[in-house]
Amino acid sequence: MSAGEQVDAQLAGIDAQRVGRWLGEHVDGLVGPVEFALVSGGRSNLTYRVTDAAGRAYALRRPPTGGVLSTAHDMSREWRFISALAPTAVPVAPPLAYCADLEVTGAEFYVMGFIDGRVLADHEAGMRLAPEARARAGEHLVDVLVELQALDPAEVGLGDLVRGTGYAERQLRRWHKQVHASGAADLALLDEVHDLLAAHVPAQSSGIVHGDYRPGNMAFGPDGTVCAVFDWELATSGDPMADLGWLASSWQDPDDTTEATTAGPSTVPGFPRRAELVERYARLSGRDVSNLPYWVAFSRWRMACIGAGVQARYLAGHMADDGYLEEARARAEQGVRMGEAARDALRELGI
């Protein structure tokens, strides 16, 4: 067991006996009995490390135990994306089995291979990566993003997920609706920024959008190479600038005065600066990045919505108890600052 994992025979969301039996019947090569450990870090869907009697490790993903919002926490979507991308140049964990039977453990879930890499979720994780690998980590996450966005959704079997309406319009509508449905309080600022963003949507293209593309959702090898991209629950079709905007908003330079949307390793010496990532992306993809400031503001607003919703679910007791409540409150407070930063950025753009 690694740090940050909680082993418990009565883990929230897991009927150990039924799930263990199901795994033995559906995962080739798995040897029972199995042990489950809740992996901390996932704040929407729940992730468990599954270790079988032969010492092999697997990862199991399922939704929260309650407070599931409409269209959120979609296991079948995650499963479809990793299954479609497994044969491509985009690194994902090997998809192994999917369970649609709610009787097994109260929700759909899927199982994938466990990727034992370095997840660069924060400054401390970045410090643990060898200095000579840090530049490579920044460069390769851009390379993988370019590979992802070069794929045709229809050609990889995701054509039915392509939406005819614009990504920005869909996302603005979705997150605005969900943050109101979550029971979160003090939504006036989020409503104000929503209206500004909705009134100034730029022209959009289409491709595959991960939805939460950042180092904290990836496993890196010791040399800085991306071994796998995780957390596909928000994946859809849409403008590739959305993922670049999310990455840029979370990639903080050491001298930035605006905080990042999410924690990351980027202020550690040796990682590229944000402008270097954007330049590499523009050069390798050939895409116009002039609308990136809009997508950075959009990302900050969306992060504010997510933070408010997560805190509301934790306060209602709908997420596993892994000691995250105080951090959830802090995240909601950060969300207010993100909303203000988004509004300020839009004003600077003349919006």
User: Mean of the per-residue pLDDT values for the chain?
Assistant: 89
Q: What is the pLDDT of residue 4?
A: 47
Q: Tokens standing for 17?
A: 């006996």
The whole-number average pLDDT for the span 21-35 is 97
Q: What is the pLDDT of residue 291?
A: 93
pLDDT tens digits for range 305-325? 887 777 766 666 655 555 556
Q: Tokens standing for 207?
A: 């491709």
Q: Tokens standing for 258?
A: 């605006």
Q: Which residues contact 347 (CB under 8 A, 6 or more apart)?
A: none
Closest alpha carbon to 348 in 286, 258, 266, 252 = 258
pLDDT tens digits for range 41-81? 445 688 999 999 999 999 999 988 765 444 555 799 999 99
pLDDT band at residue 183, thresholds of 50, 70 and 90?
confident
The model's pTM: 0.88
d(CA 106, CA 63): 10
The whole-number average pLDDT for the span 183-205 is 91
Report CA-CA distances (Å) from 226 to 29, 200, 211, 221: 26, 35, 17, 6
Q: What is the pLDDT of residue 163?
A: 77
**Contact of 9 with 40, CB cutoff 8 Å:** no
Report CA-CA distances (Å) from 342 to 22, 72, 137, 178, 304: 46, 23, 28, 19, 9
pLDDT tens digits for range 233-268? 889 999 999 999 999 999 999 999 999 999 999 999
Q: What is the pLDDT of residue 65?
A: 77
**Contact of 67 with 318, CB cutoff 8 Å:** yes
Domains and CATH numbers, the chain: 5-113 (3.30.200.20), 123-348 (3.90.1200.10)
The whole-number average pLDDT for the span 181-188 is 81
Q: Tokens standing for 211?
A: 């939805």
**What percent of the chain has a predicted confidence (pLDDT) above 70?**
87
Q: At 37, is the secondary structure helix, strand, or coil?
A: strand
